[in-house]
Structure 1
Amino acid sequence: MLGENFRTLIPPVGAEIRDRFLTEWKTSHAIQPVSSDHVDIAVGNDGWTLPIPLVKTSKGWHFDTRAGAGEMRLRRIGRNELAVIQAMLAVYDAQREYAGKDHDGSGVLAYATKLSSSPGKQDGLYWPTGPDEKPSPLGEAFVTAGARNAGQSGYYGYHYRLLTSQGPHAPGGAYDYLVRGKLFGGFAVVAWPVRYGDTGIRSFMVSHAGQVYSNDLGPDGAKKAAAMKSFDPGPGWVKESP
């Protein structure tokens, strides 16, 4: 029905999203005509439609798996980008929480210089904790979020990296956040797609000011983000609403 590559389109048995689909199917399902030769299958009561459309050709009705794969990619990108905006705000909140405590015994309050802490230290926003300990500001999902290996899945399809200065287009102008190896003056983080055009399109930035910005850096966005030294939302960067 879906062709020889159906496994790339359907979640495996036991997957949560598959079970959720079956539950919604039992609740409600209907055919929604788009045109005389194109219909969508609506499932559940929230307006969700199956990404693989039914189309009519000279051979009759069939599932258009090529169009379905494209629609699934677009939906995945949309979900990831919305999730990344929230992830950026989570980093913002985590940095503010982190800076409220002395984590190295120096008596100095500063922002974290890493997303994930070094072994045995609390120099990042995540560190392992026991069942009776207060959780670290960020969750374990950010352990590999900063990995630049394209084989890593990142977090919601994105890699993340902290920035230690800001440029002339940032509120307050250009200056360094680092003073004697500690982040005093502020913080910023940039996120870019693990696979451009597949896990995401736009790249994102946020600083201690709390405003998230986005920009389409193109297929070479990973290189541009890796070379980025400062939070500098100049031309091309637009404000995002949470």
Structure 2
Amino acid sequence: MFDAHRHLPSSAPIHTNALYATSTQGEWQHLLSLPVPCLKGIGVLGKELLPVFPLLEELLVEHADVQIAEVGLDKRMGNREEQQTFLIEVLALAFKLKRSVSLHCVQSDGMLLSLLESRRSHLPQLLWHGCTLSWESAKRAADLGIILSFGPSLFGAGLARRGKELLALPYALETDFTGADEHQYTAVLTQQYRNFALLTGASEQALIRNNDEIRTILAHHPLAR
């Protein structure tokens, strides 16, 4: 089972078939050392932002197997204009280097969608991490070719009421797991697949196949626009 978004544990063997996302510069060197089948996502959130852009670009050029995860807009951090400037720079870089980008968004759905729509013809492959958008916003995102990544937070959101309609959107499944207990992690991942199967009526095998395809898209093959 591929996990479209989890975080680096502080300690524990790392060998999971997952996209490992980072949100601080301090995690990057650890990320770069991960073995196959890990998919590596280099990202940054918060106050660091623009000062780290040159290093982020340098590492992406040097490491062709590294994607971008996670970057985005978060109203709680209070510096959204700077976040937006940084995100525009990262999207342009990802488009140029043909890397996928996993988006972080908190209380900024409309702002982020408008930003992406204004750059429709120059977007890299995008994944909307932890998607709990409204149905209307989810369709706007899907129209841009964005993969909507559903984690445990989906089941408390209004979007969950759409049930099997979610299968008509480009989607992935994730855990957003942050701990170090791999037994617990496996249980969370298995339960996420099971819960989404119950919600949508899809078989777990169909969900596994879908997430395997999403892994390929994120790592190698941007969707045609």
TM-score grouping bracket, smaller chain normalisation: under 0.3
Higher strand share: 1
- Find the structure with the greater CA-based Rg: 1
Higher helix share: 2
TM-score by length of 2: 0.23
Greater RCO (CA < 8 Å, at least 6 residues apart): 2
TM-score by length of 1: 0.22
